[in-house]
Structure 1
Amino acid sequence: MAETAGAGTTARGRPGLPAETVEDGSPPPAAPDQVVRETREGPVDERPAPRARTRRGWRRVTAAALVTVGTVLSALCVLLVIGCWLDDRAIERPEPGRATAEVVLVSFPRTVVRYTTPDGAVYSPSLGVLYPEGLQTGQLVRVEYDPAQPDKLVRVAGRDFRIALLPAGTTVLGIWLVVVPLVWWLRRSAR
């Protein structure tokens, strides 16, 4: 079917379309982004089909998004532990105030306590107490507070930032146990 055609015509004689063969009977030269391999049957174009390239691009973008989300969530967990450590440091420097507090309210976002400092002032921090696990309304508990800001930072005595290590660590581990296999699968199927 491929015949030698004159310049500006196809092998079937249609003007304006490129010829299927050049004058010596060989196929036209490959485009720069085209990979052509010679076989017994003739030249074979090894470029991926446009749909395959689109699918591969989508998989790479999804893999990159998953790694980004995993990294951001891991960084948030690390920042949570650092924030707890900084709060503990503020309470402990120079010397923490100590008191017995009554648990006033236990709810999901916070646990509110009320305590009296040695100078007779009564405080009930609006942000609640740090590390409130296991507290119940009406319970009396020992607390430590920042003497410079007794209405801001208060924690249950004997508890510190190390309590946040287990939930933050398991969250990071869970994130990467999901992200790594998904990214591996996406990258593997993109090839």
Structure 2
Amino acid sequence: MTRTVQRRIQIALAVLGVLVALIGTVIIAGAYRNDAKINANKATAVADVISADRLHAAVNFVTPDGVLRNPKLGLLYPTNLSTGQRILVDYDATDPDNLARPVGRDASLSVVPALSVIAAGWALVIVLMLGVAETGRRSRRD
């Protein structure tokens, strides 16, 4: 492997690492943005969890105008919920069909998973870069 090819591969890997870091940053920023929108027009309701798994929870709740709501993308921060549960949810009163979260949960819950994705991404990039460097060194030695 020539030095030029090695350098290009390592640059591509570094770009991949930067993209992973940007994705993680956008995840955190998006969670804080959603929380800010909810907090700006916060309303609270009792919701029934109609389905739940590790990463998604669908709920129904009634707003003060008597309309049954079911947020299209489910709840934000849905961990540890189970089907049939009744919970309190905070929602954006101006957009109850899109933004809702269980009471007491916020964007800080997105930080650890996003930082884990960034760390794992960079760990993989570094291992691959070292592998490319070693392969290049061995091929030039021969």
TM-score, normalised by the number of residues in structure 1? 0.65
Residue segments in structure 1 that go unaligned for 5+ positions in a row: 1-53
Count of residues paired in the alignment: 137
Aligned residue number for residue 162 of structure 1: 108
Q: Which has the higher helix share?
A: 2
1:56-101 deviations in Å (ceiling 9; x for gaps): 22221211111111111110111011011100000000x4100110
Deviation at 1:107, TM superposition (A): 4.8
Answer yes or no: is 1:64 the counterpart of 2:11: yes
- Which of 49, 63, 69 lines up with 1:117 in the alignment? 63
Answer yes or no: is 1:79 the counterpart of 2:26: yes
Residue segments in structure 2 that go unaligned for 5+ positions in a row: 138-142
Aligned residue number for residue 77 of structure 2: 131
Say which structure, 1 or 2, has more relative contact order (CA 8 Å, 6+ apart): 2
Letter in 1 for 2:77: Y
User: Quick one: percent identity of the two aligned structures?
Assistant: 31
- Which of 149, 153, 159 lines up with 2:99 in the alignment? 153
Aligned residue number for residue 89 of structure 2: 143
Query: Whole-Å Cα distance in 1 between the matches of residues 84 and 72 of structure 2?
Result: 17
SS of the equivalent of 1:70 reads helix
1:94-151 deviations in Å (ceiling 9; x for gaps): x410011000122576321000122322111121111100111111111000011111
CA pair 73-147 structure 1, distance change in 2 beyond 3 A: same
Deviation at 1:184, TM superposition (A): 4.0
SS of the equivalent of 2:2 reads helix
Aligned residue number for residue 106 of structure 1: 52
Deviation at 1:187, TM superposition (A): 4.0
Work out whether residues 60 and 186 of structure 1, in 8 Å CA contact, stay in contact via their aligned partners in 2: no
Work out whether residues 60 and 190 of structure 1, in 8 Å CA contact, stay in contact via their aligned partners in 2: no
Answer yes or no: is 1:179 the counterpart of 2:125: yes
CA pair 155-147 structure 1, distance change in 2 beyond 3 A: same
TM-score, normalised by the number of residues in structure 2? 0.86
